[in-house]
Amino acid sequence: MLINFGTRAHNHNFASDFIVRSLLDTDWYKLAMLQFIWLHFRDVKVRFSLINRTRSVKLARIVDETELRRQLDNVRSLRLKRSEAVWLQGNTFYGQHGIFRPEFVAWLAGDVVLPDYTLSEEDGQWRLDFEGPWALVTLWEIHALSIINELKTRAALAGMTETELDILYARAKVRLWDKIERLRPVADLSLSDFGTRRRHSFLWQEYVVETMAAELGPRFIGTSNTYLAMKHDLEAIGTNAHELPTTVAALARTGDALLEAQYEVLRLWQETYGGAMLVFLPDTFGSTQFLRNAPDWVADWTGMRVDSKDPVAAGEEYIAWLERHGRDPREKRVLFSDGLDVGDILRLHETFGGRIRDGYGWGTLLTSDFRGCHPRNGQGLDPLSLVCKVTAVEVDAVWKGAVKLSDNYEKATGPASEVARYRAVFGTEGVANVPVLV
């Protein structure tokens, strides 16, 4: 894909250049989870909220409110196109045909409109909330994150000359090429793009995905971005995320139900999907307690995704757990996905290759690594630790704070009293305090 990024940015031709071009411009697992939610929890109401964990960056002083509202309003105007609906229903995902049921696709292609948002400024940050039926609000997460991140990018580019922009993108392309060159000799590698939510821009993500596919061939197994997978005939990658156990746990009325919520989600998930879709994410309330308390049938799942724990420790913990349960780790998959860069991928592959089927979801530092690329050492292009999480769930007509504990104390979210209550139930074994980059 030949794009003159410098000229395009310099022209500032953004009047009709919407950041989100399709409802499918989202992570594929949002759609898999959406069908799951639509089938099992469609009457549950939730609130998602934007959280900037990089507090030193005051987004409300960078991202213009009028433009932010225009971009958000555009998302509310989007509808699933007929060609997109046909692709969703007719395509094969993870080797399975018909993952998306006709009645679900018909609903999604109908009059689905994302709920309205509330936007205000609070201590230099944008307070952005989405509230309503879970099956609608969930779609906002990735769209909101990609909008905020690209508006931050556009603000940083606006003051640069055409020459500076040309140098910026030349350096970023060289950096991407250098990463590819380090990966090229590793023939048995398996990695995919997970970078939609914090991408530098839509066009840059598309460039990165096309370049990775062309240069790494079958080692680049696909992208989490559904729209790019459809457009470029790539595999759409993804399974499930923290919002499922976070929300189901918030619905629990007793301590025992709270502890069991993380497994109830898996029970319902395997009723809905199967095969390669059976990859669990254990760190919502702590990976160590999850594995210790998990029913034996969880060991029959295809694999585990590692997110907030030290990846070597998490991989070793999973292998040991599989062996205790009499399963051969070489037949299972571990997917690493938290803040990876090329050095991490190579180190982890050297550690786990041949012992377990290792894979890598490469996110922020694939699609938004412009660190040090500014020709005059300007600011504003470093990636943020920006998330959009379930923060409240309606239970018996009352809003109840939702909690994610994580394997990293720094990533915990929720009201302090609820976080303390959850930790009393789940414990803190294996939880560490680690600085958050992304």
Same domain, 241 and 277: yes
**pLDDT tens track for 3-18:** 788 887 776 655 568 9
In terms of domains, do 143 and 286 share one?
no
Within this chain, do residues 225 and 275 fall inside the same structural domain, yes or no?
Answer: yes
Task: Extract the tokens encoding 166.
Answer: 């040309």
Alpha-carbon torsion, ordered 35, 37, 38, 44, to 10 deg: -160
Query: Do 286 and 244 reside in the same domain of the chain?
Result: yes
Q: Is residue 429 part of a domain?
A: no
438 assigned to some structural domain? no
Helix (H, G, I), strand (E, B), or coil: what is residue 97? strand
Give dist(CA 329, CA 322) in Å, integer.
Answer: 6
**Average pLDDT, stretch 341-349?**
98
Question: Can you tell me whether residue 116 is helix, strand or coil?
Answer: coil
Calpha distance 288→313 (Å, rounded): 10
End-to-end CA distance of the chain: 28
Query: Which pLDDT value is given to residue 379?
Result: 86
Of 24, 42, 142, nearest in space to 91 by CA: 24
58 & 78 share domain: yes
Burial annotation 256-292 (CB, 10 A radius, 16+ → b, else e) = eebbbbbbbbbebbbeebeeebbbbbbbbbbbbbbbe
Q: What are the beta bridge partners of residue 274? A: none
- Do 40 and 118 sit in the same domain of this protein? yes
Asked if residue 95 belongs to a domain, the reply is yes
- Token pair recorded at residue 328: 């051969």
In this structure, what DSSP letter does residue 275 have?
G
Cα 300 to the chain's mean position, in Å? Answer: 25
For the cut 70, the answer to whether the pLDDT of residue 250 exceeds it is: yes
- pTM over 0.85? The answer is yes
pLDDT of residue 14: 54
- The region of weakest confidence among 154-158, 253-257, 390-394, 426-430 is 253-257
User: What is the number of residues in the chain?
Assistant: 438
pLDDT at position 15: 56
Is the same domain home to 230 and 323? yes
- Mean per-residue pLDDT for 245-255? 95
> What's the alpha-carbon Rg for the chain, to the nearest Å?
21
Helix 243-250 to helix 255-272 angle (10° resolution) is 130
* Cβ-Cβ contacts under 8 Å for 369 (sequence gap 6 or more): 172, 175, 176, 341, 383
CATH number at residue 144: 3.20.140.10
| In a shared domain, residues 125 and 167 | no
pLDDT digits (tens, 9 = 90+) for 43-53: 999 999 999 99
pLDDT at 5: 86
Same domain, 139 and 246: no
Can you tell me the distance from the alpha carbon of 235 to that of 142, in angstroms, rounded to the nearest whole number? 19
In the chain, % of residues over pLDDT 90: 92
Together in a domain, 206 and 347: yes
Q: What is the pLDDT of residues 289-328, one digit of tens each?
A: 999 999 999 999 999 999 999 999 999 999 999 999 999 9
Nearest to 129 by CA among 59, 202, 54, 72: 72
One domain, residues 155 and 197: no
- CA–CA dist 354, 351 (Å, integer): 9
pLDDT of residue 223: 98
**265 φ/ψ sector (left φ>0, alpha ψ -120 to 50, else beta):** alpha
Best CA proximity match to 280, nearest among 292, 272, 291: 291
Q: Which residues form the domain of 138?
A: 19-160+386-408
Instruction: Flag whether 103 is in a domain.
Output: yes
33 with 112: CB under 8 angstroms?
no
- Dump strand ranges (E) for 353-423: 357-362, 386-395, 398-401
Q: Which residues contact 7 (CB under 8 A, 6 or more apart)?
A: 162, 165
**Same domain, yes or no, for 29 and 155?**
yes
pLDDT of the residue at 224: 98
Answer yes or no: is pLDDT of 382 > 80.
yes
pLDDT top residue among 50 and 253: 50
Alpha-carbon distances of 400 from 130, 132, 252, 414, rounded to whole Å: 15, 14, 11, 10
Amino acid at 173: K
- Residue at 80 is within a domain: yes
Q: Which of 320, 223, 242, 323 is closest to 281 using CA atoms?
A: 242
Number of domains in the chain: 2
pLDDT at 4: 82
Residue 1 confidence class, pLDDT cut points 50, 70, 90: low
Helix (H) or strand (E) holding 126: strand 125-133
Report, as an integer, the average pLDDT of 107-124: 96
Q: Is residue 191 part of a domain?
A: yes
Mean pLDDT, the chain, integer: 95
Give every CB contact of residue 259 below 8 A, 6+ residues apart in sequence. Answer: 293, 425, 426
